[in-house]
């Protein structure tokens, strides 16, 4: 089975590639190695997969020395020529589209980056998958699409018409584009709404790493909404196990579905939306307390007012994932944080 992973040097993309390679899949990866956060971390991830940074020359496909079933291309999904090249070489059965301009707050500073990558880039990959006859198109959505919802836990059937950031709006747009392609071309698509993913090799712009860095460096941690926020922290291994559980099992058209059912997570087309979260929300201050206990140092917390782009709470209902795919994330925050801090100390030489 041949799998194309976009964003292969990213946090989730790297872990997914490693899991699939060890399971015997042929993996083709593409990444543009942009500088939204430290590029050295992206190269370090790729190095773990047997490819040196110096080998990643733009527009040239490189084979891993560690995994002979891994091929990577340093290129941008916004460039249609790059997408054509990787699809011609990979001839994928499955696409896991994880490349995106990430981050909620950065979308306030540089909205065009989100329009370019998350809309045009998404379309390039989606349409290439259609033309290639891909058997299952899986893509990263986000818990941020739930926006102003105040009913918890958040279910895939809940309305998602009021995003509070451009990032969230682009992710919801991806879901709508995928449905159109499932309907028009009968291409199976699955959108995965990830909930606050954390763990080893995580992105430096995400809360857990920012908190950890601040504790070690004895700098302030700024908490919005005066710290009254809940997050459904989901350990990376649970996320990857969730993706691999569904990768070869695309959702079939719902036989009895109609618009009257008002269930936006399935359709008469081969389309579905799935939450992947721990389903165990934690107060953000309790999360910092867990970090303090694991690190052995106290945090310096600064409480700030609510920001319009931030959700006050996330909490995933994962009953659909459990019922259809017999999988439910289960790693506790205490265990996940311990593993993460072990990696953090080793990687940053602390």
CB 121 within 8 A of CB 102: no
Q: Using N-to-C axis directions, what is the helix angle for 236-246 and 11-22, rounded to 10°?
A: 60
- For the purposes of burial, counting CB atoms within 10 Å of the CB of 253, is it exposed (0-12), middle (13-18) or buried (19 or more)? middle
Active site residue 167: yes
Catalytic residue among 106, 167, 198, 344: 167
Structure tokens at 146: 């739930």
Which of these, 122, 241, 251, 113, lies nearest to 176 by C-alpha position?
Answer: 122
Tokens 């990979």, located at residue: 90
DSSP state of 87: H
How much helix, strand and coil, in percent to the nearest 5, is found in the chain? 45, 20, 40
CA–CA separation, 1 and 311 (whole Å): 39
CB 11 within 8 A of CB 37: no
3-state secondary structure of 9: coil
Q: Which residues belong to the active site? A: 167
């Amino acid at each position: 089975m041949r799998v194309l992973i976009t964003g292969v040097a990213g946090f989730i993309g790297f872990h997914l590639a490693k899991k699939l390679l060890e399971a015997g899949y042929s993996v083709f990866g593409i990444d543009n190695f942009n500088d939204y956060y430290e590029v050295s971390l992206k190269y370090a991830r790729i190095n773990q997969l047997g490819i040196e940074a110096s080998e990643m020359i733009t527009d040239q496909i490189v084979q891993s020395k560690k995994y002979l079933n891994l091929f990577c291309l340093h290129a941008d999904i916004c460039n249609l020529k790059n997408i054509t090249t990787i699809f011609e070489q990979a001839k994928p059965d499955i696409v896991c589209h994880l490349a995106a301009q990430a981050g909620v707050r950065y979308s306030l500073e540089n909205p065009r980056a989100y329009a370019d990558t998350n809309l045009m880039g998404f379309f390039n990959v989606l349409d290439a998958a259609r033309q290639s006859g891909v058997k299952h198109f899986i893509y990263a959505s986000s818990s941020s699409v739930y926006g102003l919802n105040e009913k918890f836990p958040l279910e895939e059937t809940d309305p998602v018409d009021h995003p509070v950031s451009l990032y969230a709006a682009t992710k919801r747009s991806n879901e709508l584009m995928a449905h159109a392609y499932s309907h028009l071309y009968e291409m199976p698509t699955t959108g995965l709404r990830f909930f606050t993913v954390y763990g080893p090799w995580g992105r430096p712009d995400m809360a857990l790493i920012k908190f950890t860095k601040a504790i070690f460096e004895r700098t302030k941690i700024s908490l919005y909404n005066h710290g009254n926020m809940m997050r459904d922290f989901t350990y990376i291994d649970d996320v990857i196990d969730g993706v691999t559980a569904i990768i070869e099992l695309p959702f079939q058209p719902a036989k009895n579905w109609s618009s009257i059912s008002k269930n936006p997570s399935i359709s008469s087309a081969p389309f579905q939306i799935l939450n992947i979260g721990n389903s165990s929300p934690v107060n953000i201050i309790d999360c910092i307390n867990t970090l303090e206990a694991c690190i052995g140092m106290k945090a310096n917390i600064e409480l700030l007012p609510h920001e319009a782009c931030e959700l006050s709470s996330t909490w995933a209902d994962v009953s659909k994932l459990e019922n259809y795919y017999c999988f439910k994330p289960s790693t506790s925050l205490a265990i996940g944080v311990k593993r993460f801090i072990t990696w953090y100390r080793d990687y940053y030489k602390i």
